[in-house]
Amino acid sequence: MIDDPDGYADVIDGVDGHGLVGAVERLVAIPSLGGTDAEVDAQDAVAHEWASLGLEVTSWDIDVASLAAEPDFPGMEVDRTAARGVIARIPGTGEGPTLLLLGHTDVVPPGDRGAWSSDPFRPEVRGDRLIGRGACDMKAGTASITYAARALFASGVRLRGDVVLAAVSGEEDGGLGTYAMLRQGITADACVLPEPTSLDLVPANGGALTFRLRIHGRATHASRRTEGVSAVEKMLPVLEELRRLEARRNETVDPLMQRWPIAYPLSIGTVHSGDWASTVPDLLIAEGRLGVALGETPAQARADLEGALARLCDEDPWFAEHPVEVEWWGGQFASGRTDPEHPVVRGLGEVATTILGNAPEVYAAPYGSDLRLLVGAGIPTVHFGPGESSAAHAPAEWVDLRETVACAQVLAAYAMRFCGTST
């Protein structure tokens, strides 16, 4: 770089792309599914990488049971007894603001292995792509934090404010790790989460509330089915009501959300009913996910769904006597929003434009993430990371390695801009 008015050239050149790809591969090879021992292994692996940079690493055992009993606990959908918190700090001179770079190391299950052309936990590099479960969501992003820190270190730049690196687990099923980190009193003036955004800026996201419906019927022998009430058939008016509710909740949406076909989806993910083929089933249990709008509280969203079902139950004689029961369980992600004009969004956008050569788009994402916990704790937060969000949770998950390296470069340069440098 000949023209270097911002002084970023050293840290940009200092990002070791080859090393970064290796770090993504090592992380993807750890099958850190939520609720397994490997979740802790992945946290330990990141702690080890950070310690090897010469950073002071703090790692602690999270008391999962006592946090889960707290009223603000964000929820958990897997059995988990152990979790590890990991942070590291690049100390500044104490004269500037603190930037938090946070990544999660847990992944979702690979799904149907037949839909993968390779072993989900044996990362494969094909051209500019790395394929494996968690490559995109978000082990490439987490590794890019490590390599941004490495480049900052190697450049010898003296930052005025601290850079705090955090690795968390339990993100996919509620946000245990970030909740635990915040409960440790760790804070910052702004946070960048390198979740997959294809290097666009995502300063807000919709929330997601997991629910369970119990739809009651009356069992009888299938040969006399008209004398019973099938819980499966009673699911149909419930589904229709949920579709109407979803349409109504998406009539007007925040401008940041307008790029999505459905900003706030309402979807049923599991359905279980019946225990015998020739019995009319008396119970159907369906689990699903309700999107929470920007600016809407989870309580408002819950009341909206409960209200819609209550009206349905008023109109239907069977439901009037056997109302559909709603239970809220598991992940309860509020929506979260950082003002797109906030300096962390604008500043990161300017640095990214300088380095990438084109300006990132700014929009909100329809999925929940740790952003809402951080924003809720008063830390303005933006997603900016490698990978397309459509590849996340999908078979043959992949990440673009050029984006991964560019992300590390932007994060390193942005840390200089945000924290300030001292000569």
Q: Are 122 and 60 within 8 A, CB to CB?
A: no
Task: State the minimum distance, in angstroms, from the CB of residue 119 to Zn ion.
Answer: 21
CA angle 228–234–235, rounded 5-degree value: 145
For Zn ion, the binding residues in 306-335 under the rule CB under 5 A are none
Q: Which of residues 137-196 bind Zn ion (CB under 5 A)?
A: 137-138, 195
Please tell me the distance from the alpha carbon of residue 399 to that of residue 49, in angstroms, as a whole number: 21
Residue closer to Zn ion, measured from CB, 138 or 406: 138
Q: Which residue has the CB atom at the shortest distance from Zn ion?
A: 137
- The answer to whether the beta carbons of residues 151 and 42 sit under 8 Å apart is no
Q: Which two tokens stand for residue 167?
A: 């690795």
357: exposed, middle or buried (Cβ count in 10 Å: 0-12, 13-18, 19+):
exposed
Is residue 374 at the binding interface for Zn ion, with CB under 5 A as the rule?
no
Q: Which residue, 10 or 137, is less far from Zn ion as judged by CB?
A: 137
Nearer to Zn ion, 49 or 397 (CB): 397
Helix (H, G, I), strand (E, B) or coil at 239: helix
Number of residues that bind Zn ion (CB under 5 A): 3
Helix (H, G, I), strand (E, B) or coil at 108: coil
Residue 341 CB, shortest distance to Zn ion, in Å, is: 25
Q: How far is the CB of 393 from Zn ion (least distance, A)?
A: 9
Q: Reduced to 3 states, what is the DSSP secondary structure of residue 79?
A: coil
Query: Closest CB to Zn ion among 89 and 104?
Result: 104
d(CA 423, CA 421) in angstroms, rounded, equals 7
Peptide bond into 76 cis (omega under 30): no
Q: Which residues contact 99 (CB under 8 A, 6 or more apart)?
A: 161, 162, 163, 164, 188, 189, 190, 191, 192, 414, 415, 418, 419
Q: Quick check: 21 and 144 in contact, CB under 8 A? A: no
Q: How far is the CB of 167 from Zn ion (least distance, A)?
A: 13
Between 195 and 397, CB nearer to Zn ion: 195
By CB under 5 A, tell whether 241 contacts Zn ion.
no
Nearer to Zn ion by Cβ, of 205 and 421: the residue is 205
Q: Least separation, in Å, of the C-beta of 195 and Zn ion?
A: 5
Give CA–CA dist 349/362, Å, rounded: 9
Residue 137 vs 241, nearer CB to Zn ion: 137
CA distance 381 to 337: 8
- In terms of CB distance, is 169 or 338 closer to Zn ion? 169
Closer CB to Zn ion, 289 or 322, in the complex: 289
Interactions with Zn ion, residue window 116-145 (CB under 5 A):
137-138
Residue with token string 């299938």: 222
Residue 202 bridge partners (DSSP): 383
Give the position of tokens 């007007």.
Answer: 252
How far from 73 is each of 64, 179, 190, 329, CA to CA, in Å?
A: 10, 7, 22, 12
Distance CA 187, CA 325 (A): 40
d(CA 281, CA 231): 6
CB of 371 to Zn ion, least distance (A): 10
Q: Does residue 370 bind Zn ion (CB under 5 A)? A: no
Residue 104: CB minimum distance to Zn ion, A: 6
Alpha-carbon gap, residue 414 to 360, rounded angstroms = 14
Torsion of CA 69, 286, 292, 133, to 10 degrees: 80
Q: How far is the CB of 237 from Zn ion (least distance, A)?
A: 35
Least distance CB 16 / Zn ion (angstroms): 24
Smallest separation (angstroms) from Zn ion to the CB of 185: 24
Burial class from Cβ neighbours inside 10 Å (0-12, 13-18, 19+) for residue 61 reads exposed
- Nearer CB in complex with Zn ion: 195/241: 195
Whichever of 49 and 195 has its CB closer to Zn ion, that residue is 195
Least distance to Zn ion from the beta carbon of 368, Å? 10
Query: Where along the sequence are the contacts to Zn ion (CB under 5 A)?
Result: 137-138, 195
